[in-house]
Amino acid sequence: MKKHGMLNSHISRVLSDLGHTDIIVIADLGLPIPAGVPKIDLALKLGTPGFQEVVDLVAEDMVIEKVILAAEIREENPAAMQYITGKFGNDAVNASISHEQFKALTRHAKAVIRTGEATPYANCILQAGVNFG
């Protein structure tokens, strides 16, 4: 049994398999998941686990070079926008695509991790970086 880090075996496997520029999605309850993209469903009840908690835990084990958000998050969920920019910095965050474009990008994800989050646009695409020079 693992002692530290991501204990969820499905998430741990996906993170271990990521290459540079591969993407995963952290999703709220309502984001549609494209056919063929693996879904790791963590939702236990409305709000649990939350978006921020899952992003924090995934970020502990993943080298993240870019975060993609739907532009609608600015108006519809400013708290989530503030959290993401505070965590990753403005240079790493792209919030200039529409929610429709965001959903289209999810088709290329290695996995979608579904949270119990029930606030609008609490979704992000995390693009993998590398942990060397």
pLDDT on residue 95 = 87
pLDDT tens readout for residues 60-106? 999 999 999 999 999 999 999 999 999 999 999 998 999 999 999 99
Please give the pLDDT value at position 12.
Answer: 96
CB 23 within 8 A of CB 64: no
Q: What is the DSSP letter of 45?
A: B
pLDDT-derived band at 4 (thresholds 50, 70, 90) equals confident
CATH of the domain at 32: 3.40.1650.10
Residue 24 lies in a domain: yes
The verdict on residue 87 lying in a domain is yes
Query: Does any domain span residue 77?
Result: yes
d(CA 82, CA 58): 18
Q: Measured between alpha carbons, how far is 99 from 45 in angstroms, rounded to an integer?
A: 24
pTM for the model stands at 0.96
In a domain? residue 2: no
User: Would the annotation count 70 as a binding residue?
Assistant: no
Question: What would the pLDDT profile of 23-71 be if each residue is shown by its tens digit?
Answer: 999 999 999 999 999 999 999 999 999 999 999 999 999 999 999 999 9
Residue 4: inside a domain, yes or no? no
- In this structure, is residue 1 part of a structural domain? no
> In the prediction, which pLDDT does 45 show?
97
With respect to residue 26, please indicate whether it lies within any of the assigned structural domains: yes
Could you say which of 4, 10, 20, 108 is catalytic? 20
Residue 31 resides in a domain: yes
| C-alpha span between 78 and 61 (Å, rounded) | 26
4 is catalytic: no
Q: Radius of gyration (Cα) for the chain, nearest Å?
A: 14
| pLDDT score of 3 | 76
123 is in an annotated binding site: yes
Number of domains in the chain: 1
Ligand-binding annotation for 17, yes or no, is: no
What is the residue range of 76's domain? 9-128
User: Is 104 labelled a binding residue?
Assistant: no
